[in-house]
Amino acid sequence: MSFQVTKDQGATVVDVAGQLVVTNRQEFKQLVLDEIERGARLLVVDFSRSPYIDSSGLGALVSLGKRMREAGGELRLAGLNEDLRTLFELTRLDALFPIFASRADALVAQSAAN
């Protein structure tokens, strides 16, 4: 389980390698909060290397999405596998986040918005 932050086309991308669960949610949350504090206003969380998320991980995303909206930015999700898409549909969180098939799609959408 690890998180990697990169900058891509003006956006901040957080790559989640492994599950996002109760054991690492605080590390993930603090990492993203730090990026928001540094001025990130478009943040893409790339789940293409993540097998599953538990309720703690979902809760962290909800909290961060809210924080990002308050800061005038947007938190996007990318690379969800079929299982993770099911999870977001089950919890209706697919209505709360912009979800893209891939990191590239999430970044292209940024360009289109600009």
Q: Among the candidate windows 2-10, 30-38, 91-99, 103-111, which touches another protein by CB under 8 A?
A: 91-99
Sign of CA dihedral 42, 91, 4, 101: negative
Stretch that binds another protein, among 5-13, 31-39, 55-63, 100-108 (CB under 8 A): 55-63
Residue 11 near residue 107, CB atoms below 8 Å: yes
3 near another protein, judged by CB under 8 A:
no
Q: Note whether 21 binds another protein by CB under 8 A.
A: yes
- Closer to another protein by Cβ: residue 45 or 107: 45
Using CB under 8 A, pick the residue from 62, 98, 104, 105 that binds another protein. 62
* Interface residue list for another protein (CB under 8 A): 19, 21-23, 51-56, 58-60, 62-63, 66, 83, 86-87, 90-93, 95-96
